[in-house]
Amino acid sequence: MTSGKAESRIDVRAERLEGSARCIAGSLAALGLLVLAGWATDTRTLMSGTPRLTAMNPVTAITFVLAAASLWNSVDRRSSAGAARVGVVCAWAVVVIAAVRLIGYVGPDLGIDRLVFPESLDAEPIPNRMAPNTATAFLLAGIALLGLRSMGSRTLVAAHLAGLAVLGISMFTLCGYAYRASGLTQVGEFIPMAFHTAAGFAALSVGILFARPRVGMVDVLVREETGSRIARKLLPAVIGIAPVLGWLRVYGEHRRMYDSSTGTAIMVASWVGVMGATVWWQARVLNRADVKRTEAEREVEALNSKLRRDAIEIEATNRELEAFSYSVSHDLRAPLRSITGFSQALLEDHAGGLDEQGRDYLDRVVRAGQRMAELIEDIMVLSRISRKDMQREPVDLSVAALDVAHGLSESQPQRNVEVDVEPGLVADGDPKLLRILMENLLANAWKFTALQAHPRIEVGALPSKNGERVFYVQDNGAGFDMEHAGRLFTPFQRLHSEAQFPGNGVGLATVQRVVRRHGGRVWAQGKVSQGATFFFTV
């Protein structure tokens, strides 16, 4: 699995959570507005869910709408500065309303929760107020919503912790309603938190946790690691099963199906059974993944050892190649020296005993021997380039080109070649090999412009594409037929006659070897009598 794939899976999960946070925000706003509509129209179902339960205070409903607005635009970090400001203002409003209400419970009561529909509120069986646990939950939620806007991971962890505290308060209240434990729904003798307020807080806290899932504490839910995978599978089970079992127990007891200790026993046994099965199932899944990983590791190990074996083989091949080159340079030259040496000796010491033709034959033997010595030399140059140790570093090709051109014009002062080198051509490669490359390309251009009235050589680079820099050496010399371009870089292949342009046909072969050793490419463009351009990358 590539890390890119893992990244994209994390993205998919995170986006799913962010989407849920948005849905929650939307639903919360709808909840708040519905409750307000209930108060306005005196519709009991909207105000309190069922007629027997406490109604949600209208200010609580308004505060939910504010929290929902803040949550909605905390999800999208690309939202405009204006929208972000609205989010911050809403979160602050939540904090302020909650703080004012809480202060009211211990100190001066400003009656903030009596601002809307005061008559209807006081007409309730218990005067309807925002409950202390509700105000506390809003305070925490407001702080969390403000924290969500931070980029710092510590602040986000704090925001997520505040969100978890809100979740805790709502869970207590919801469980209190589910199990008819009124001690959990209210603080002391104060008015209890309404049922749908508690449900709203549960949703709001989940929204807060899901709004920024890549950072803070929630990243554990979206990551690729084994721990996150277990968490994704076990968490829903843990969250879902316990309340259901608890509710079943309380329900059975109320219906007098069994007594309290039997209920506890059933609940504990079911819990052990369900959780045991879940853990067993997860363990199997993990084990399977483990086995797969071990197999993959073994495969990697096998591939590695094959790679090592291959490397040893290559090393051996290289050594053989080296030995071969050594004997080529050494052993082949010795008999060659005898052939030319003794032929020359014959020519010098016994010229009298030979007629004109005999001397011509011997001359040819000597020349052929010298030519062969040159060929061996060229093979050695090529093989040395292939065997040379490489180091990569930034190399200024412009400096090298100017230096080479200077050397060429010094060795052939009768030639007057215009050499134009673009400054600052820096390539990443082996300085010695790249120098050899420039020497060969420039010598080539120098040679094939010999018959030009105004010979010109240009060294430059194309605009870089995909981070790859293409360098070129261009001349206005003899050029070549593109049909034969494929043979340009083959050792000892020549497109011009020896008489026209002398050479052995190793210059461009050398260039190609240097380029290949760098993992680059080399190619040529040209036209007969219209010059040639050699491009390369390293």
Partner 1 sequence: MRHAILLVEDTEDDIVLTRRALKKNNLTNPLVVARDGQEALDLLLGGVAGDPDPDDLPSMILLDLQLPKVDGLEVLRRLRANPRTRLLPIIILTSSKEERDLVQGYSNGANSYIRKPVDFDQFSEAVRQLGLYWLVLNEAPPRVG
Please state, in angstroms and rounded to a whole number, the distance separating the CA atoms of residues 310 and 312. Answer: 5
| Contact call for residue 337 and partner 1 (CB under 8 A) | yes
Is 159 strand, coil or helix?
helix
Query: Partners of 523 in the beta sheet?
Result: 535
Is 183 strand, coil or helix?
helix
Q: How far, in Å, are 264, 330, 347 from residue 361 at the CA level?
A: 117, 27, 10
Please state, in angstroms and rounded to a whole number, the distance separating the CA atoms of residues 286 and 533. Answer: 61
User: Helices 195-211 & 3-41, crossing angle to 10 degrees?
Assistant: 150
| Contact call for residue 334 and partner 1 (CB under 8 A) | yes
Please state, in angstroms and rounded to a whole number, the distance separating the CA atoms of residues 35 and 61. Answer: 6
- Window contacting partner 1 (CB under 8 A); options: 20-28, 121-129, 328-336, 455-463: 328-336
Query: Positive or negative CA dihedral for 18, 22, 25, 27?
Result: negative
- By CB under 8 A, the count of residues binding partner 1 is 20
Element (H, E) at 166: helix 153-178
- Residue 8's Cβ-side half-sphere holds a number of Cα atoms within 13 Å equal to 4
* b/e 37-63 (16+ beta carbons within 10 angstroms → b): ebbeeeeeebbbbeeebbbbbbbbbbb
**Greatest Cα pair distance in the chain:** 145
| Contact call for residue 338 and partner 1 (CB under 8 A) | yes
Instruction: CB nearer to partner 1: give 294 or 327.
Output: 327
- Window contacting partner 1 (CB under 8 A); options: 54-62, 197-205, 333-341, 424-432: 333-341
Query: DSSP secondary-structure letter at 485?
Result: G
| Contact call for residue 336 and partner 1 (CB under 8 A) | yes
Question: Shortest distance, CB of residue 481 to partner 1, whole angstroms?
Answer: 35
| Contact call for residue 323 and partner 1 (CB under 8 A) | no
Is beta strand 471-475 parallel, antiparallel or unpaired with respect to 532-536? antiparallel
Instruction: CB nearer to partner 1: give 8 or 370.
Output: 370
Question: Shortest distance, CB of residue 465 to partner 1, whole angstroms?
Answer: 38
Question: Shortest distance, CB of residue 428 to partner 1, whole angstroms?
Answer: 25
Instruction: CB nearer to partner 1: give 173 or 340.
Output: 340
Is 493 strand, coil or helix?
coil
Query: Given candidates 78, 330, 454, 465, which one binds partner 1 under the rule CB under 8 A?
Result: 330
Question: Shortest distance, CB of residue 321 to partner 1, whole angstroms?
Answer: 13
- Window contacting partner 1 (CB under 8 A); options: 291-299, 364-372, 400-408, 480-488: 364-372
Instruction: CB nearer to partner 1: give 27 or 329.
Output: 329
CB distance 149 to 84 below 8 Å: yes
- Residues 207 to 236 in contact with partner 1, rule: CB under 8 A: none
- Kindly write out the interface string for residues 366-405 of this chain, putting x where it contacts partner 1 by CB under 8 A and - elsewhere: x--xx--x------x-------------------------
Residue type, 188: G
Question: Shortest distance, CB of residue 329 to partner 1, whole angstroms?
Answer: 6
- Window contacting partner 1 (CB under 8 A); options: 51-59, 104-112, 330-338, 445-453: 330-338
- Window contacting partner 1 (CB under 8 A); options: 111-119, 225-233, 325-333, 357-365: 325-333
Question: Shortest distance, CB of residue 348 to partner 1, whole angstroms?
Answer: 8
Other C-beta atoms closer than 10 Å to the C-beta of 263 total 19
| Contact call for residue 248 and partner 1 (CB under 8 A) | no
Instruction: CB nearer to partner 1: give 225 or 349.
Output: 349
Query: Given candidates 63, 340, 444, 474, which one binds partner 1 under the rule CB under 8 A?
Result: 340
Structure tokens at 56: 């949600």
Instruction: CB nearer to partner 1: give 240 or 335.
Output: 335
Instruction: CB nearer to partner 1: give 7 or 331.
Output: 331
| Contact call for residue 77 and partner 1 (CB under 8 A) | no
Is 394 strand, coil or helix?
strand
- Kindly write out the interface string for residues 341-360 of this chain, putting x where it contacts partner 1 by CB under 8 A and - elsewhere: xx-xx---------------
Structure tokens at 533: 């351009």
- Residues 412 to 471 in contact with partner 1, rule: CB under 8 A: none
| Contact call for residue 504 and partner 1 (CB under 8 A) | no
Instruction: CB nearer to partner 1: give 248 or 336.
Output: 336
Rounded to the nearest 10°, the torsion over CA 267, 269, 275, 281 is -140
Residue type, 451: L
* Chain Cα centroid distance, residue 133: 45
Structure tokens at 379: 């093979």
Q: List interacting residues with partner 1 (CB under 8 A).
A: 326, 329-331, 333-338, 340-342, 344-345, 366, 369-370, 373, 380
